[in-house]
A and B are shown apart, each in its own frame.
Chain A
Amino acid sequence: MTCRAFADFLDAYLSGELPRDVLASFEHHLELCVNCVKYLEQYRLSIALGRRALEPSTEVLPTDVPEDLIQAILVAFRLKAEATTLD
């Protein structure tokens, strides 16, 4: 397996979707190629960093909806409800 094929199969490898023969070839390449070991580590870490950066508990966000937005939604609701009743 080449580094190019290894990179193509990364996602399927991480989700456990590689057929057995391809998996054996993938893991053999991993034993031989230090550069691809680093590429795999950094690909994995990138997924984890993306999740961590945007997970709600760590985002710099107010927990509640601004009151003016709630009121705007409620006004729109009343208009919609009135229109529905008139129909």
Chain B
Amino acid sequence: MNSNDLVQAMDPAGASAVDEPALIAALQRGEEWAFEAMVRIHGGRLLAVARRICGNEEDARDALQSAYLSAFRAVQRFEGTCQLSTWLHRIVVNMALMRLRTRRRKPEEQLVTLLPAFQEDGHHVEQFSEWAMPADRLLEREDVRATVRSCIAQLPESYRQVLLLRDIEELPTDDVARMLSATPTAIKVRLHRARQALSTLLRREFAR
């Protein structure tokens, strides 16, 4: 098998048609065609992951490149206990997080202003009104999706990261805790606050 065979075997739905054990064996022998096939098969989805986390094209491209080189170095130790796509996903998430750590932090809204406020007796200060559109219509509209993406981008960075890793990338709490050097309990608290903050930002956009 060569890279043309592998690339021809790719279907629009993904890499399901590829002979993964053969690809992994070739990768472990250091064959370039296998590396190129791995880039072409998985690169699009991984670049999308890096873009979501990094929030800009330059860092996303750097993260993808670093992830592939890291995968090349580590592939000898890949034991096939998960799919190649899952293994690569975690590597690219780690590389994207490393890029974020080196980036200068942007000024951000304090989280406390996005959390619900309470009176002394424990009641909400705010009276919540209905949103202008029913949930099913909000979920369908592209302009709403763009607004939601903008709201997620406004979250303080450490909260945005946890929201992305847990709710979008669907990584387990324990894995996210390891990636961010935090305890699982801290990640749970941060996720809850991130969701509350996102809800506040969306309320500002969509409440009547």
Contact = CB atoms under 8 A, between A and B. Distances in A.
Interface in B34-49: 35-36, 39-40, 43-45, 47-48
A27 interface: no
Contacts of B135: 41, 45, 48
Interface residues of B, number: 54
Given A47-B195, A65-B43, A74-B32, A54 B65 contact: no
Contacts of B64: 65, 69, 73
Interface string A1-34: 0111101001100000000000000000000000
A36 B39 CA distance: 48
Interface residues of A, number: 44
Nearest to B68: A73
Contact of A43 (B32, B68, B168, B199): B199
B124 A78 contact: no
Contact of B198 (A39, A50, A52, A65): A50
Interface stretch (B17-25, B77-85, B99-107, B142-150): B142-150
A46 B198 contact: yes
Given A45-B135, A49-B139, A61-B48, A73 B65 contact: yes
B163 interface: yes
Contact of B192 (A11, A51, A55, A65): A11
B167 interface: yes
A77 B27 CA distance: 12
Nearest to B118: A4
A43 B195 contact: yes
Interface in B97-142: 116, 118, 121-124, 127-131, 135, 138-139, 142
Contacts of B163: 50
Contacts of B164: 54
Given A5-B122, A39-B116, A70-B40, A50 B65 contact: no
B172 interface: no
A45 B73 CA distance: 42
Interface in A39-84: 39, 41-43, 45-56, 58-59, 61-65, 69-70, 72-74, 76-78, 80-81, 84
9 contacts: A2-B121, A11-B191, A39-B128, A49-B139, A49-B145, A54-B152, A69-B61, A69-B64, A77-B69
